[in-house]
């Protein structure tokens, strides 16, 4: 019945396969209704059934109960009203809304259809029970899974994990000094300006970071160095996460997160007990990343800061 390329695509074509199965059931269901001289579209069933069991309901109430859009319910109810199976009434208290209920003709049709629904349910149940896996139980489990963690969120998580794997973290070498400088200048000139302390560190990271017990990491993506981050040693226990910069060309590629996770792990390897950082409150994406990495906001007197732009201080215990 369904043996073709769609089957070969597996999970990638799940939506297509479910729609194809749905279309088949709708088509066969309509034919069954016609054989029994009933003019009824299977797609009307959820709304018609709910009105049969729930009495008088609004479009919003119907949409909420069957879990579809208001627009889809409105389209279905317009068709049911057109075929005189449903009547539309003024809302009792809110004249902007309409209430819906089965018409007398709709209730007459309901009497004819209820035995047929039992037959349809029995046939589907017999078919499902012939197989090892119970289709309705499986569908319920999938729906519950999507309710607890949405499809877009699931796909985004997988994508981000893949991108992080594609980012390669490499250690400091003096020949990378120009990347360290240029990436940071690109970032600074986008949001602020290059301060004197920046110039001193960026022009000689070996002297001001590496030789003082710190470290620098670089991120490589598709063969190009696209990001960097440094650890500046305060004392035997404390280090500052500093000079994190990622080129705008790889925005959304998870480079910043991979760098952040890697520099934190490097700090642990260096026996650091606390990581600190200074930032600015306008850098919302960066601050959000730091929070997700585990940094907490803390107080600092910024009159002692090496940077004029600093107005946010964060810490992380390791």
User: Dihedral (C-alpha) 24, 27, 30, 32: value to the nearest 10 degrees?
Assistant: -60
Total domains present in the chain: 2
Please report whether residue 211 resides in a domain. Answer: yes
Report how far apart, in Å, the C-alpha atoms of 63 and of each of 51, 77, 261 are.
Answer: 12, 11, 44
Considering only residues 250 and 183, tell me which one the structure prediction assigns the higher pLDDT. Answer: 183
Same domain, 121 and 243: no
Same domain, 188 and 70: no
Mean pLDDT value of segment 194-210: 95
Q: Write out the two tokens for 41.
A: 């579209």
Same domain, 182 and 313: yes
Strands 98-102 and 167-171 turn out to be unpaired
Q: Is 32 exposed, middle or buried (0-12, 13-18, 19+ CB in 10 A)?
A: middle
Same domain, 170 and 143: no
Q: Which CATH number covers residue 218? A: 3.40.630.30
Is residue 295 within 8 Å of residue 277, measured between CB atoms? yes
Q: Say if residue 140's pLDDT is above 80.
A: no
CA distance 86 to 292: 52
Please report whether residue 309 resides in a domain. Answer: yes
Q: Say if residue 3's pLDDT is above 80.
A: no
Whole domain around residue 288: which residue ranges? 162-317
Secondary structure of residue 234 in the 3-state scheme? coil
Please report whether residue 47 resides in a domain. Answer: yes
Of the ranges 10-24, 175-189, 225-239, which one carries the lowest mean pLDDT score?
Answer: 10-24
Same domain, 47 and 184: no
Secondary structure of residue 93 in the 3-state scheme? coil
Give the pLDDT confidence score for residue 203 in this predicted structure: 96
Considering only residues 220 and 149, tell me which one the structure prediction assigns the higher pLDDT. Answer: 220
Please report whether residue 2 resides in a domain. Answer: no
Q: What percent of the chain has pLDDT over 90?
A: 53
Each residue of 98-128: pLDDT tens digit?
789 999 999 999 999 898 888 888 887 777 7
Is residue 206 within 8 Å of residue 212, measured between CB atoms? no
Please report whether residue 19 resides in a domain. Answer: no
Give the residue from 184, 235, 233 showing the smallest Cα distance to 213: 233
Give the pLDDT confidence score for residue 133 in this predicted structure: 67
Same domain, 313 and 170: yes
Strand (E) positions, the chain? 57-58, 86-90, 98-102, 167-171, 215-221, 224-233, 238-246, 274-279, 296-297, 312-317
Each residue of 255-292: pLDDT tens digit?
999 999 999 999 999 999 999 999 999 999 999 999 99
Same domain, 298 and 177: yes
> Which domain-ending residue is among 113, 148, 183?
148
Give the pLDDT confidence score for residue 149 in this predicted structure: 63
Please report whether residue 1 resides in a domain. Answer: no
* Most confident of the ranges 33-42, 59-68, 118-127, 206-215: 206-215
Mean pLDDT of the chain: 87
Mean pLDDT value of segment 137-154: 67
Same domain, 246 and 312: yes
Residue 16 CB coordination number (10 Å): 12
Q: Which CATH number covers residue 110? A: 1.10.10.10
Please report whether residue 15 resides in a domain. Answer: no
Of the ranges 149-153, 185-189, 239-243, which one carries the lowest mean pLDDT score?
Answer: 149-153
Phi and psi (nearest 5°) for 91? -65, 145
Give the pLDDT confidence score for residue 143 in this predicted structure: 66
Same domain, 183 and 251: yes
> Which domain-ending residue is among 120, 148, 176?
148
CA distance 50 to 17: 27
Same domain, 141 and 175: no
Contacts with 252 (C-beta within 8 Å, 6 or more apart), sequence order: none
Considering only residues 204 and 234, tell me which one the structure prediction assigns the higher pLDDT. Answer: 204
* 225, β-bridge pairs: 220
Same domain, 74 and 137: yes
Please report which confidence band the pLDDT of residue 146 belongs to, taking 50, 70 and 90 as the band edges: low
Secondary structure of residue 145 in the 3-state scheme? helix
**Residue-wise DSSP of 168-206:** EEEE--GGGHHHHHHHHHHHHHHHS---HHHHHHHH-HI
CA distance 218 to 288: 21
With tokens 């306008």, the residue in question is 282
Please report which confidence band the pLDDT of residue 78 belongs to, taking 50, 70 and 90 as the band edges: very high
Same domain, 181 and 232: yes
> Which domain-ending residue is among 148, 172, 198?
148
Considering only residues 240 and 27, tell me which one the structure prediction assigns the higher pLDDT. Answer: 240
Is residue 316 within 8 Å of residue 296, measured between CB atoms? yes
Q: Write out the two tokens for 210.
A: 């590496």
Q: What share of the chain is helix, strand, coil (3-state, %, to 5)?
A: 60, 20, 25
Q: Say if residue 1's pLDDT is above 50.
A: no
Please report whether residue 92 resides in a domain. Answer: yes
């Amino acid at each position: 019945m369904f043996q073709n390329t769609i089957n070969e695509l597996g999970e990638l074509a799940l939506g297509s396969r479910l729609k194809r199965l749905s279309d088949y059931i709708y088509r066969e269901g309509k034919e069954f209704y016609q054989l029994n001289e009933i003019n009824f579209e299977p797609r009307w069933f959820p709304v018609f059934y709910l009105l049969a069991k729930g009495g008088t309901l609004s479009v919003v109430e119907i949409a909420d109960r069957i879990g579809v859009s208001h627009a889809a319910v409105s389209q279905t109810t317009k068709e049911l009203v057109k075929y005189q199976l449903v009547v539309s009434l003024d809302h009792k208290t809110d004249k902007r809304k309409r209430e819906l209920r089965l018409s007398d003709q709709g209730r007459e049709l309901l009497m004819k259809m209820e035995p047929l629904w039992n037959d349809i349910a029995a046939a589907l149940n017999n078919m499902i029970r012939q197989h090892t896996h119970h289709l309705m139980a499986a569908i319920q489990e999938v729906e519950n899974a999507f309710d607890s963690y949405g499809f877009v969120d699931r796909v985004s998580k997988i994508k981000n994990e893949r991108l992080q794997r594609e980012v390669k973290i490499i250690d400091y070498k003096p020949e990378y000094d120009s990347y360290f400088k240029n990436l940071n200048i690109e970032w600074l000139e986008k949001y602020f300006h290059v301060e004197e302390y920046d110039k001193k560190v960026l022009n000689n990271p070996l002297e001001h970071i590496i030789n003082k017990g710190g470290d620098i990491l670089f991120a490589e993506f598709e063969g190009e160095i696209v990001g960097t981050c440094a650890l500046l040693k305060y004392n035997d226990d404390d280090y500052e996460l500093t000079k994190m910069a990622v080129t705008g060309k790889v925005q959304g590629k998870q480079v910043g997160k991979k760098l952040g996770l890697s520099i934190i792990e490097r700090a642990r390897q260096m026996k650091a007990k606390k990581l600190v950082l200074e930032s600015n409150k306008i850098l919302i994406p960066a601050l959000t990343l730091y929070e997700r990495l585990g940094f907490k906001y803390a107080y600092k007197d910024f009159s002692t800061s090496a940077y004029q732009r600093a107005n946010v201080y964060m810490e992380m215990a390791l």
